[in-house]
Structure 1
Amino acid sequence: MRFSLFYNCDITPGTSVRELYREIEAQAVLADQLGFDAIYLAEHHFEVYGRQPAPLISLSRISGLTRRIGLGTAVVEAPYYQPLRLAEDAALLDVLSGGRVRLGIGSGARNKAAEFAKFGISIEEKTGRTLETIEILRQAYDLGTVDFDGDYYRFTDVEICPRPFRNANDLIWLAASDSTVELAGKHGYRLLVPRVGAAERHREWIDRYRAALQDRPGWVALLRFVYVAETAREAEEQTRRTFARYAQYDCGIAWDGRTGTREYRDLMKQMNMVIGSPDEVAEQLQQWHDAFGFDEIICQVYAAGSEHAASLRAIELLAREVMPRLQSAAAERR
């Protein structure tokens, strides 16, 4: 089981965006030192919910601060990009970083209609534009040239330079959805399963992906909010503000602020979170692994309302107290 970190780049009102970036960079450096597999950045525009309009640029800086950690997007919102430029930018970062890029691709959330409007793109085009972009990227990375005639994009014999270190099925990761899981399996792309959504739907996507692979190697990365402290009480206190914000945003519920209640447990399950001591977190991660059969757990430990120092400690505890247990258990089962 591989462990990675995810940053939605959301902040509370009044928080310095510059400070947000510096704290994420510091956490990425620590994660690199502690042996995490990758760091993933989400893309958001215009709204306070997320302050990351250009994840590839941020990852370029992080690549110069780290040595080995993977550099992922979860995800770039494909409809906003000129596909050739996206192909070039990601390939260049892969070259500069020594082959560390994981280009996670999605179509953007349907509840962000205002964002699409500001870019002058119909939200009804988001899936079509994304699927065409994925095929253009495949040609760019596997063939080196793009010949494509679609509904939104047309290119003839366009050479891509520089070429990335790896082929498309190693470089491209697709956000799981009803329109992408079979495509990901058909081409052997890696699959990114989001935090938000019902567990039953996530299991269905993974099953469909595995079936489409037809015994070819694949990779499932599962995103979850994972927060660990020395004790459950400390973990609950340190995530109180974040939990309240996500309960409102994800579920439309004004959480009453009490932990240890049925409401708290139900909300945690609904939001796909685990918050607790090393023992509790390890147990829940093992249960998720048994249920989903993922290859990589992408842990969100830092979000709006988080304290930087506490998040650094949570990353350390994950690496020193949780990761070894699960990796040892997996080795024993093998």
Structure 2
Amino acid sequence: MKLGIFLLAAQFEAGDQGTVLTSAMDAGCAAEEAGFDEAWIAEHHFVPYGLCPSAVTFAAMLLGRTDRLRVGTAISVLPNTHPVALGEQAALLDQLSGGRFTLGIGRGGPWVDLEVFGSGIERYDEEGWAESVDLLMRWLTLRRVGAEGKHFRFRPVPVVPRPLTRPHPPAIIACTSATSAALAARQGLPMLLGMHADDCEKAEMISAYDAAARACGRDPRGVEHAAASVALVADSRAEAVRELKAALPRWLNRGLSAHQTVDGRARTMRDPHAYTDYLCEIHPVGTPRDVIAALRRTTEATGIRRHLLFAEGAGRPERTLDNIHRLGKEVLPEIRADAEQ
């Protein structure tokens, strides 16, 4: 298995936002020191759920402060930006990092972001989303690219700089439905599955992906899907659950409720306390043995061997660093031993 740290730059308490962002960067550096394979950063706009508005910029900073760690975006919100602009940034980071960058992309939500950045709901809807993904991947793969689609039309131009990694820099698509799984399969890209999905849902998504891949003549075997999960190590499971229940509900309620839809469509909000209970139940939370067992269980049920561990769940920067340290010291060696068997 491959383990990475998943960072949201989550603002649990009102206060200095610079401290939150700096703490997230420190956590990314700590992941390299603890022996993790990679670190991932999320992107959000106009909400305290996560304070990083540019996952690519954060990734660039973290790549510059580390030597070995792979760094990815989880995710860059593609409908908010031009695919070529994002492709140029990804190629730049691929070159400057020596191939340590992974571009994760997703649709985001039908949020007010689309109004602020001027892309509109059409870029979020299925047709615009698929056209954006196609243009981005052509930019990362070819020497010269033009566009004649509904949303993007321009004469062919040279790709400068070209990515270092062939056929393109590592990329992954956040997927929450069979439709998005099919899009990922058509592009030959792995899926990133979110924290909300249990093992059964993850397995169903992979089945949908496999069927779509075979339908378009692609072999789904060996595709390295990834899954995000809450991970907290403590001396007992009860202690870990208690910490998460003390921190997550207030953050979830304050952060997620701040999202505004761009077109007034109805939203369904999870109860933050019930959702916290659910996350504690399905994710690697508890003693090191509990965490190892949960990761093994997910891998056995789904085949996923790449795990992105959300380490900030206790809500305090010092506890995040302690969590990363303990995961690296008490969990990672056994997971690595599994991979060698």
TM-score by length of 1: 0.87
In structure 2, how many angstroms separate the alpha carbons of the residues matched to 1:122 and 1:33? 42
In structure 1, how many angstroms separate the alpha carbons of the residues matched to 2:247 and 2:53? 22
Q: Write the mapping of 1:2-13 to structure 2, written as runs, cut at 5 A.
A: 2-13=2-13
In structure 2, how many angstroms separate the alpha carbons of the residues matched to 1:150 and 1:241? 49
Partner of 2:131: 132
Q: Secondary structure at the match of 2:112?
A: helix
Q: Secondary structure at the match of 1:84?
A: helix
Match of 1:278 among 269, 288, 291: 288
- 170 and 190 in structure 1: CA distance in 2 versus 1, 3 angstrom threshold: farther
Report the residue type matching 1:278 in the other structure. P
Report the residue type matching 2:247 in the other structure. T
Report the residue type matching 2:153 in the other structure. R
- 88 and 32 in structure 1: CA distance in 2 versus 1, 3 angstrom threshold: same
Report the residue type matching 1:252 in the other structure. R
1:268 aligns with 2:280: yes
In structure 1, how many angstroms separate the alpha carbons of the residues matched to 2:220 and 2:227? 20
What CA RMSD, in Å, does the superposition of the two structures yield over aligned residues? 2.4
1:240 aligns with 2:245: yes
Using the TM superposition, give the Cα deviation of residue 152 of structure 1 relative to its aligned residue in structure 2, in angstroms.
0.4
In structure 1, how many angstroms separate the alpha carbons of the residues matched to 2:188 and 2:157? 24
In structure 2, how many angstroms separate the alpha carbons of the residues matched to 1:313 and 1:13? 19
Partner of 1:321: 330
In structure 1, how many angstroms separate the alpha carbons of the residues matched to 2:109 and 2:200? 20
- 86 and 26 in structure 1: CA distance in 2 versus 1, 3 angstrom threshold: same
Report the residue type matching 2:270 in the other structure. G
Q: Secondary structure at the match of 1:10?
A: coil
- The one-character-per-residue Cα deviations of 1:154-198 (angstroms, maximum 9, x if unpaired) are 122111111112135552211113333223233331221111245
Report the residue type matching 1:70 in the other structure. R
1:290 aligns with 2:300: yes
- 179 and 264 in structure 1: CA distance in 2 versus 1, 3 angstrom threshold: closer
Partner of 2:114: 116
- The one-character-per-residue Cα deviations of 1:43-68 (angstroms, maximum 9, x if unpaired) are 11111222111111111111111001
Q: Secondary structure at the match of 1:43?
A: coil
- 184 and 170 in structure 1: CA distance in 2 versus 1, 3 angstrom threshold: farther
- 31 and 306 in structure 1: CA distance in 2 versus 1, 3 angstrom threshold: same
Which is further off, 228-237 or 292-301? 228-237
Unaligned residue ranges in structure 2 (runs of 5+): 257-267
Partner of 2:233: 228
- The one-character-per-residue Cα deviations of 1:84-109 (angstroms, maximum 9, x if unpaired) are 11111111111111111111011112
In structure 2, how many angstroms separate the alpha carbons of the residues matched to 1:62 and 1:56? 10
Using the TM superposition, give the Cα deviation of residue 264 of structure 1 relative to its aligned residue in structure 2, in angstroms.
7.1
- The one-character-per-residue Cα deviations of 1:13-70 (angstroms, maximum 9, x if unpaired) are 4232211121111111121122212111111111122211111111111111100111
Contact preservation (8 Å) 1:229, 1:313: no
In structure 1, how many angstroms separate the alpha carbons of the residues matched to 2:143 and 2:29? 33
Using the TM superposition, give the Cα deviation of residue 137 of structure 1 relative to its aligned residue in structure 2, in angstroms.
2.0
Report the residue type matching 2:47 in the other structure. E
Which is further off, 20-29 or 169-178? 169-178
Q: Write the mapping of 1:189-268 to structure 2, written as runs, cut at 5 A.
A: 189-197=189-197, 199-211=199-211, 212=213, 213-215=218-220, 217-245=222-250, 248=253, 252-253=270-271, 255=273, 266=278, 268=280
In structure 2, how many angstroms separate the alpha carbons of the residues matched to 1:46 and 1:78? 16
In structure 1, how many angstroms separate the alpha carbons of the residues matched to 2:159 and 2:272? 50
Q: Secondary structure at the match of 1:179?
A: helix
- Kindly tell me the number of residue pairs found equivalent between the two proteins: 321
Contact preservation (8 Å) 2:99, 2:169: no
Partner of 1:260: none
Using the TM superposition, give the Cα deviation of residue 115 of structure 1 relative to its aligned residue in structure 2, in angstroms.
2.9
1:312 aligns with 2:321: yes
Contact preservation (8 Å) 1:168, 1:189: no
Q: Secondary structure at the match of 2:102?
A: strand
Higher relative contact order (CA 8 A, sep 6+): 2
Which is further off, 165-174 or 26-35? 165-174
Report the residue type matching 1:323 in the other structure. L
Q: Secondary structure at the match of 1:67?
A: coil
- The one-character-per-residue Cα deviations of 1:220-270 (angstroms, maximum 9, x if unpaired) are 1111111112332432343333332366459633639xxxxxx9754533x
Partner of 2:312: 302
Which is further off, 121-130 or 132-141? 121-130
In structure 1, how many angstroms separate the alpha carbons of the residues matched to 2:311 and 2:148? 42
TM-score by length of 2: 0.86
In structure 2, how many angstroms separate the alpha carbons of the residues matched to 1:251 and 1:150? 35
